[in-house]
Amino acid sequence: MTARGATARSRKNQKIAAIAATGLIVAAGATISSLAAWTDTEWVFGGAATENGVSTSVFEVNQNVTTGATWTNDLANPGGKIDFSIVAQDLMPGEPVYGFVRLRTIENSLPGDLTLNAPVMGAGGSATLFSALTYGAKIVPSTGDCTDAGFTASSTVVVAPGSATSAGSAVDVFDLAGGTAAPGPEKVVCFQLMLPSPASDTLQGLTAQPIWNFTAESKLP
Residue type, 133: L
DSSP class of 122: P
Q: What is the pLDDT of residue 96?
A: 96
The fold of the 61-218 domain, in CATH, is: Immunoglobulin-like (2.60.40)
Q: How confident is the model at residue 112 (pLDDT cuts 50, 70, 90)?
A: very high
40-89 confidence digits (pLDDT tens): 999 998 999 998 999 889 999 999 999 999 999 999 999 999 999 999 99
Contact of 123 with 198, CB cutoff 8 Å: no
- Cβ count within 10 A of residue 114: 18
Q: What is the pLDDT of residue 166?
A: 80
Contact of 61 with 104, CB cutoff 8 Å: yes
Q: What span, in angstroms and rounded, lies between the C-alpha atoms of 178 and 193?
A: 30
* Integer CA distances (angstroms), 69 to 20, 61, 63, 64, 72, in order: 88, 15, 10, 8, 10
Q: Which helix (H) or strand (E) holds 101?
A: strand 97-105
Strands in 106-147 per DSSP E: 112-116, 120-121, 134-140
Domain spans, the chain: 61-218
Global pTM reads 0.79
Q: What is the pLDDT of residue 170?
A: 59
Q: What is the mean pLDDT of the chain?
A: 87
